[in-house]
Amino acid sequence: MRVKGKTRRLMSWGLSAAALVAASATPVGAAVPHDGDRPGQRPVWTLTDTGTDARFRGLAAVDRRTAWVAGSEGTVLRTVDGGRHWRDVSPAGAAREGLEFRDIEAFDARRAVALAIGEGEASRVLRTEDGGVTWTESFRNTDARAFYDCLAFFDSRHGLAMSDPVDGRYRILSTADGGRSWRVLPATGMPDAQPGEAAFAASGQCLVTSGPRDVWLATGGAATARVLHSADRGLTWTATESTVPAGDPARGVFGLAFRDRRHGIAVGGDYRPGEPSPRAAAVTGDGGRTWRQSAAPPAAYRSGVAYLPRSGSGALAVGPTGTDLTTDGGRTWRTVDTGSYDTVDCTVDGGCWAAGEQGRVARAGR
């Protein structure tokens, strides 16, 4: 999403799963650990040494040992040992060209697809098949009106990328070969965008999938914050109003997570520091046809959200003022960490990671 011709710049950090079990058992009101150790307390997040000060808003957690992060100054890093060591696998020339990576999707330790955002040719998709040793540019936007924000995959072959509205409708790219080639889908199945509406390139979670065909798109900046849903891999869409406040270019839904094709969580608010963000989370139990306001939402703006592995009702939401935990499917939240984070991702084998500003990447637990 652009604001007065400039890319939105947000904030972030990192986390994993065993520590969250302990956090969920902490009584409300009790002291909770945070990224800065307190005497006698175990932090929820354990920071790793990335050796860079890049800001990472793109995060792809493959498993407990393998993760990719992508961010500012054309930087892409990969770990295969749980964050003990990070390898700089940035695409050649990306720093020189000032590419701003805001999303990355990884299939394993060798294959990943990264999205650089911005107006016109600043929006690009790059792909690697050798762990980041080499990258191939598979898409470069040539339409000055387009501004790509997020990408998501259904499986290792089928995926989508989305742009802010062009000619009054969101533009969707599609791939059927793992990101090697892309085509623009017809706009006929896309509802009209609201005046001023766009998506937020804040955490790589403005476009998310569940299962082989369902995909959701988060919006803000307009009179209402909406969530758009497609059940046919982006060919046709329906739009539903969320309960997250909008009505300003800085407000709306920033991140989505779905644990299956019916149950999902939306988080957002007002990204400006110091601005209140009431009703910053919502939940759905019908695939996004309707949304209900969280009874006790996070106390501040949140840009990223992820369901906890092996849990039907646990999830994390992260933002510049901390991390919140829900154990009831998003109906109520409480803060379990006060560090700044942008994006969070969890894996089926029980690993959770988070990433953000000043090169900070962390995982949950020791």
Compute the distance between CA of residue 171 and CA of residue 184 in angstroms, rounded to an integer: 7
Q: What is the pTM (predicted TM-score) of this model? A: 0.90
Distance (Å, whole) CA 348 – CA 64: 9
Average pLDDT for residues 328-348, to the nearest whole number? 94
CA 216 to mean position of chain CA atoms: 12
Measured CA to CA, the distance from residue 214 to residue 232 in angstroms comes to 6
Give residue-wise pLDDT tens across range 237-264: 999 999 999 999 999 999 999 999 999 9
How far is C-alpha 191 from the chain's CA centre? 23
Give the sign of the dihedral formed by CA 336, CA 339, CA 343, CA 344: negative
Give dist(CA 121, CA 327) in Å, integer.
42
CA dist 138 and 234 (Å) reads 20
**Tokens, residue 204:** 């790589």
Confidence class for position 33, pLDDT limits 50, 70, 90: very low
The stretch 325-335 carries a mean pLDDT of 97
Read off the tokens for 200. 């937020």
Q: Is the pLDDT of residue 163 over 90?
A: yes
The Cα–Cα gap between 253 and 191 comes to 18
Q: How does the average pLDDT of the chain come out, rounded?
A: 90
With a CB cutoff of 8 Å and minimum separation 6, the contacts of 159 are 105, 113, 151, 152, 153, 174, 175, 178, 179
Report the pLDDT value the prediction gives residue 1, as an integer from 0 to 100: 60
Judged by phi (left if over 0) then psi (alpha if -120 to 50, else beta), residue 287 lies in: left
